[in-house]
Amino acid sequence: MIVRKVDEVEAMDVGEVLGTDKLGIRIQWLIHNDVGDSSYVHNFAMRRFTFDPGVSYPLHHHKYVEAVHIISGRGYFENEEGRVEVGPGDVVYTASEEPHGIGNLGDEPFVMVCAIDCIDGGGNCSPKSKAVKLNK
């Protein structure tokens, strides 16, 4: 068994991960391909995102599927058909290559935990991954 404390997992700004300016969105890779030894073989990663108040991330897509559980705050998910407000206890699922955007609607951090499936050898299930494409 492996127990990790969220407060002890490094948080990086998503902008820095993508090689741009800071965005006010922090990512923590809770479970990924480098956690555990060879007895912990898995095909998923679990990440925690924290959006600062007023911060959003535009429509984007990726090959992997994503399941999101909202922990705290008030935010939204959007796709090409519209926007849905979400809050604590809500769960959101996005399919492979489905365009979606995310934003914080409140005055406090918007926090969610996100599980993704590892694809194409699992390169997207690493803190070094840059597997997101912004829609133009």
Q: Does residue 96 form part of some domain?
A: yes
In this prediction the pTM is 0.92
Q: Does residue 109 form part of some domain?
A: yes
Which residues lie closer than 8 Å to 41 by C-beta, 6 or more apart? none
Task: Write down the pLDDT at residue 42.
Answer: 84
**Domain CATH code at residue 92:** 2.60.120.10
pLDDT band for 136, please (50, 70, 90 cuts): very low
Q: Does residue 92 form part of some domain?
A: yes
Alpha-carbon distance values, 64 to 1, 3, 15, 73, 93 (Å): 26, 26, 20, 25, 11
- For the chain, the domain total comes to 1
Q: Domain of residue 61: give its range.
A: 25-122
Q: Is the dihedral of CA 16, 30, 62, 120 positive or negative?
A: positive
- CA-nearest of 15, 17, 13, 30 to 128 is 17
Q: Does residue 60 form part of some domain?
A: yes
Q: Does residue 65 form part of some domain?
A: yes
Residue pLDDT, tens place only, 91-122? 999 999 999 999 999 999 999 999 999 998 88
Residue pLDDT, tens place only, 46-56? 999 999 999 99
Q: Does residue 133 form part of some domain?
A: no
Q: Does residue 74 form part of some domain?
A: yes
| Number of residues written out for the chain | 136
- Judge contact between 40 and 112, C-beta under 8 A: no
Q: Does residue 12 form part of some domain?
A: no
